Every structure is written in structure tokens, then in C-alpha cells.
Amino acid sequence: MSYINIHQAAGKRSRFYKTVASNAKFFQKAEYLIVHSCEDCIEFKIPSIDYNGKQYKVSKIHSGWTQISVPGDLPMGTHFEFNEEESNEDRVIIYFNQK
């Protein structure tokens, strides 16, 4: 099962950003992602070649893990699992209210 961890970003603007970390293959194959978040979920999409909008850089950190800093008021925590039914190879949906 693939998952993400969310924690507070470091740096001058850290109060506006959260860092999302994962070792899922989805994040390893992407250089940039489109991020949409709402109250109960977050969506990551790999942009098409002709996409002309806001994208966030994916950074490779260590041992196969990647991270991306995203703005917004996301809940911090560990092990938010991918929704396998709604996700595919170019899009991942993660709900925060998991059981």
C-alpha cells in the first residue's frame, strides 16, 4: 500500500507550506506535479506536456524517498494511504479521514 507523510515545512515561509514525503513510485517518476487540496483530500497529478499552470517541484531526498512542498492547511500526520480505486498512473487521490 502506497502512502504519504505530511509535516511542517522548514524555512522562512514554513508557516504557509507543508512538506509531503513518500517512497511511492508515483512520486519517483515525476519531476513536477499539479496539486489540488480541499478539506478532506489532496490530489496529485502529473502534468501533460502542454499544461500551462502552477506546478510543484518534486525533490528526491534519500533511500528512494521524495518530497514536495505544498501550500495550504493540510493535516499533519503519517501514513495517509492512496485511494487505489480513484488513483491511476497519472493521478493520486488521498483522503485525510482514514480509518
Give pTM, 2 decimals: 0.88
Q: Given pLDDT bands bounded at 50, 70 and 90, which one contains residue 68?
A: very high
**pLDDT at residue number 99:** 52
Task: For 15-79, give the DSSP string.
Answer: GGEEEEEE--HHHHT-SEEEEEE-SSEEEEEPPPTT--S--EE-EE-STT-EEEEEES-PPPEEE
Residue, of 78 and 59, whose pLDDT is higher: 59
87 SS3 class: coil
Q: Residue 44 pairs with which residues in a beta bridge?
A: 35, 92
- pLDDT per residue over 37-54, tens digit each? 888 899 999 999 999 999
Range with lowest mean pLDDT among 5-14, 19-28, 64-73? 5-14
Which residue's C-alpha cell is 512520486?
Answer: 27
